[in-house]
Chains A and B, each alone.
Chain A
């Protein structure tokens, strides 16, 4: 079944709404919908809902021989699926353009940003490494799929624990959770994608960027103060991360929106997103720009992206 087409009257109405800076559900231009993250009973299982969009992510791991080119690095594998349950417009077993884009972007967001320490996943160099597999299932499609998928994937990765292993010579012993506590992955930072839509090429009447975001500041604050906020596994994670890297430990306690309602950034007065107006002008009408961001202050663009509409804002790690 094909997707419901957009009628002329809806199109005209939406454009008029945007001109008056109104949104259908009463949000402001830069307001995000409420984000809700729930964890399952199993390690690495996480459901994220944003408005009516719902995504399930499940992480699993397996011991495999490493790639020849990188004998000391673990393997990250991402798999995103669109089932017809999410939207009747999705067909199973078909590589749609959207699916390819989402998969590619999820990979770029999580693997290429090196948010997971892959070297710590090495068991025996050149012989055995952990393969971490992230399965993301879209349960309901109500927009912002990339955002929800990235949040679900990184939350599931942070929640995941892999079995402890012991190495004696060439023998690898994998301990069951009863024998030894499973160990968390070392997560350096938490990339989150945020989609924007630009209308009228961003020109007419100033800012038309309709952000779909939990305020960036909020997420950053949470990421950086996690040691005081998190209750259970902070010390273990911190020690683990510290022992392996000199980067600051990063554990996000459940990123719940602090304020009631939604985060609002830079509506009207000033642009808190660190983006200049010129950026908007380059965008096509209604194109999406996904952004990764970690720190609120200095934002710099590392332009490794192939697609024009995607830019990645990066922090400089102190």
Chain B
């Protein structure tokens, strides 16, 4: 067993703070040098510095078999990452690209050809102020991020312009990820109250639409309040709402 793993094991599920160090034990690595070097993946919030690994965000240390570690944190500022799907707001049309605000430090660009079925002659109908659900294809430090609304096969696959009605609001990135996780309890609990449509971007933007304005507002407020609630509190609240407390 590599010592770095045992170093992490102790803290899985626990709170780590920026500056916390996970250190290789040099001597034990040498003893075990006959076994082949194990790889480990450091996810968000962990940074390698020489032969030690530093936490650079505060949050909960998570682990996924076999050797993936990351920190789950509740930050609000979005930093674009390649491959993530986000909700953007089109802010400008300039030539053959759209400028899209994704909540990052810089606006992303979105080519008008990056829509399903778009050609030079057949331009997509996108207005300034529209919402787009899109995926990052380029997201580097020091470079303008670029979005596309098609997958590698040229299909829309759920992406594109949406949201003629409904309401857009912001939640923390941690809550957005929780909403997106396939076994999300929040969404399951919420959809028992009444039907609604929802789009969640990894940049913390959430768009909801229900039958009426009142219901849309209820969904939006319930989702926002989920941020700091335990499962029991949430279920109690949802039950009250379902019984018509609002």
Binding site for B on A (CB under 8 A): 1-2, 4-13, 16-17, 20, 22, 24-26
Judge whether B163 and A7 touch: CB under 8 Å: yes
With a CB–CB cut-off of 8 A, which chain B residues contact A13? 165-167, 213, 216
| Closest-CB distance, A262 to chain B (whole angstroms) | 16
Binding site for A on B (CB under 8 A): 89, 91, 101, 103, 105, 107, 127, 129-131, 163-168, 207, 213-214, 216-217, 220-221
- The distance in angstroms between the C-alpha atoms of A271 and B221, with both chains bound, is 29
Judge whether A22 and B131 touch: CB under 8 Å: no
Question: Would A10 and B213 be within 8 Å (CB), given that A4-B101, A5-B101, A24-B220 are in contact?
Answer: no
- The distance in angstroms between the C-alpha atoms of A6 and B221, with both chains bound, is 19
- The distance in angstroms between the C-alpha atoms of A279 and B243, with both chains bound, is 43
| Closest-CB distance, B69 to chain A (whole angstroms) | 30
Judge whether B221 and A25 touch: CB under 8 Å: yes
Question: Would A5 and B214 be within 8 Å (CB), given that A13-B165, A13-B167 are in contact?
Answer: no
Question: Would A7 and B130 be within 8 Å (CB), given that A13-B166, A13-B167, A24-B220 are in contact?
Answer: yes
Most buried by B among A7, A9, A24: A7
- The distance in angstroms between the C-alpha atoms of A10 and B101, with both chains bound, is 15
With a CB–CB cut-off of 8 A, which chain B residues contact A16? 213
| Closest-CB distance, B82 to chain A (whole angstroms) | 21
Judge whether B217 and A24 touch: CB under 8 Å: yes
Give 22 A-B contacts (CB < 8 Å), ordered by A residue: A5-B89, A5-B91, A5-B101, A5-B129, A7-B89, A7-B129, A7-B131, A7-B163, A8-B127, A8-B129, A9-B163, A9-B165, A9-B166, A9-B167, A9-B207, A10-B167, A12-B165, A13-B165, A13-B167, A20-B213, A22-B217, A26-B221
| Closest-CB distance, B77 to chain A (whole angstroms) | 8
With a CB–CB cut-off of 8 A, which chain B residues contact A10? 167-168
With a CB–CB cut-off of 8 A, which chain A residues contact B213? 13, 16-17, 20, 22
With a CB–CB cut-off of 8 A, which chain A residues contact B217? 17, 22, 24, 26
| Closest-CB distance, A25 to chain B (whole angstroms) | 7
With a CB–CB cut-off of 8 A, which chain B residues contact A22? 213-214, 217
With a CB–CB cut-off of 8 A, which chain B residues contact A25? 221
Most buried by B among A8, A11, A22: A8
- The distance in angstroms between the C-alpha atoms of A16 and B164, with both chains bound, is 13
With a CB–CB cut-off of 8 A, which chain B residues contact A9? 131, 163-168, 207
Contacts beyond the supplied A7-B129, A16-B213: 10 A-B pairs with Cβ under 8 Å: A2-B101, A2-B107, A7-B89, A9-B164, A9-B165, A13-B165, A17-B213, A20-B214, A25-B221, A26-B221
- The distance in angstroms between the C-alpha atoms of A90 and B213, with both chains bound, is 32
- The distance in angstroms between the C-alpha atoms of A199 and B165, with both chains bound, is 19
- The distance in angstroms between the C-alpha atoms of A2 and B91, with both chains bound, is 11
With a CB–CB cut-off of 8 A, which chain A residues contact B130? 7-8
